[in-house]
Amino acid sequence: MQPAFIHPHQLLPLAAAWFLTILTAAGCSPPSVLLTPVFDSPKLKEQTVQSGRFLDGSKIAIIEVEGLLMNARAAGGIVGARENRLSLFTQQLERAETDRKVKAVVLRINSPGGTVTCSDAMYELVQRFKKRTGKPVIASFQEVAASGAYYVACAADTVVAQPSSVCGSIGVIFSSFNLEGTMNLIGVKPETVKSGRLKDMASPFKPLEGEERKIVQEMIDSYHRRFITVVQDGRNLGDDTAIADKTDGRIFTGEQAKALGLVDELGLLEDAISIARDRAKVPGAKVVMYKRPYGYSGSIYATQDSPPPQMSAFSLPIPESAVLPNGFYYLWQP
């Protein structure tokens, strides 16, 4: 049995208990408080979200691709870090692979994308899952399935989007910032000791110019070519001329994407599940999802933490994609 810990959801009761202890010491008589410990578990809990019609136990597994895709635990405010999405995705696919009753997978996608490497890893995981199991994979777009999230969807056998879904944004962006002017205003001059002339390339304390900008642009172009190759492999959109306007970074509605061949069908999540049942020849299969009640462990990707953005002493509730670590992203960030 693993050691007990106080889950983030119990922080408020814990603070209340601490306050009540002070009241008791002051002579007050507060009501008693019972704190129940929970146990960290790497296991996933299967939840049935739609009942089946037959008794053979066949299943369709819904696996989420949601939020900012990073191989890191995203910051979670006062309740601590949230789940590493690549870790959870890996473990969910493994669960669907080893369960013989799971006959197909639906990727429920609602994400603007994320880092280049995490998007590529998730895409490769789906490809390997399909190769090893032969189980159909259907992608279902919700509000947003852009950039890296669309990259992941290209590994699916069939892509279903709602007419109003935001998708596309096939391109690469390099996230950085320049603080040189601000540092000069406050009279601070950074000092850097380095082993090579390009070691501090893309430093926020100087402009990204000349040779450094050229090197970054070459990397972006390389990542973009890989993205286009993934789209071509999954969508077969024709020659370079035919695909150019579809891969210049612009976004599309689901209806536009259908007309351009970027998605296969228009429909809701229910329709994607129906396609999965048809492809797997299990019309009466129930639908399940995998959840982890507590904890973040469970796969080889579980322990990496997100590099914390350098902020002031004030803590502000900001979206997780508002301040990103420097890096290359397949990300739609309006």
How would you write the chain as a 3-class SS string?
CCCEECCHHHHHHHHHHHHHHHHHHCCCCCCCCCCCCEECCCCCEEEEEECCCCCCCCEEEEEEEEEEECCCECCCHHHCCCCEHHHHHHHHHHHHHHCCCEEEEEEEEEEEEEEHHHHHHHHHHHHHHHHHHCCCEEEEEEEEEECHHHHHHCCCCEEEECCCCEEECCCCEEECCCCHHHHHHCCCCCCCCCCCCCCCCCCCCCCCCHHHHHHHHHHHHHHHHHHHHHHHHHHCCCCHHHHHCCCCCCEEEHHHHHHHCCCCEECCHHHHHHHHHHHHCCCCCEEEEEECCCCCCCCCCCCCECCCCCCCCCCCCCCCCCCCCCEEEEECCC
Domain ranges of the chain: 1-39, 42-176+240-313+320-331
The architecture of the domain spanning 42-176+240-313+320-331 is Alpha-Beta Complex (3.90)
Is the pLDDT at 306 greater than 60? The verdict is no
**Which residue numbers are catalytic?**
147, 199
Higher pLDDT, 268 or 334: 268
* Lowest model confidence (mean pLDDT) among 127-141, 246-260, 293-307: 293-307
Q: What is the pLDDT of residue 315?
A: 36
Over residues 283-305, the mean pLDDT reads 67
- Convert the pLDDT of each residue in 191-239 to its tens digit: 667 687 767 676 666 666 788 888 888 999 999 999 999 999 998 887 7
pLDDT band at 305 (very low <50, low <70, confident <90, very high): very low
